[in-house]
Amino acid sequence: MAAVDLSAHPGHLARRLQQAHHLLWNTMVSEEITSPQFAVLNALVAEPGLDQRTVGERVGLDRSTIAEVISRLDRRGLLGKVRDPQDGRRFLLRLTEDGVRVHRKLTVRTARMNQVFLGPLSGAEQAVFLDLIRRVADAAEGLRNPGGAAESLAGRS
């Protein structure tokens, strides 16, 4: 049996890319705030007052992951929860002053990190690369939905 060329396996390349991103994030952005936590802060800067489910959808996190991320940010005092006056079961989320300050600081750092991360590519290549991985990521979101693409793909085997 011959070895498989993993350089042609998207999952293998995505894992390597994630490792590089994680290393750069920890060295250039923050060891305390994770990339998913920053995504939540960013979503709440863009749309204050979202509920937890909607924030999770906006940043591409599943229900259990978004719940943990929200809990950690709440414990750190970076966001606050208030009951939705129209639905007492829901909490609406807003950044605290500390949350806004942390987001502002990390935004500058993420911009620098992205320059390093995408540095091997020309400006035109960066635009194409980001478009392609965005399209794959968007399509992958559909794989999580019951009755979505995963079932139709599984039927092809």
Label residue 81 exposed, middle or buried (CB < 10 Å: 0-12, 13-18, 19+).
Answer: middle
| Its pTM surpasses 0.75 | yes
Q: How confident is the model at residue 141 (pLDDT cuts 50, 70, 90)?
A: confident
Hey, where are the domains in the chain?
29-119
pLDDT in tens, 76-135: 999 999 998 988 889 999 999 999 999 999 999 999 999 999 999 999 999 999 999 999
pLDDT in tens, 55-86: 999 999 999 999 999 999 999 999 999 998 98
What tokens appear for 98 in the block? 């500390």
CATH architecture of 29-119: Orthogonal Bundle (1.10)
Give the span between the Cα atoms of 2 and 16, in whole angstroms.
22
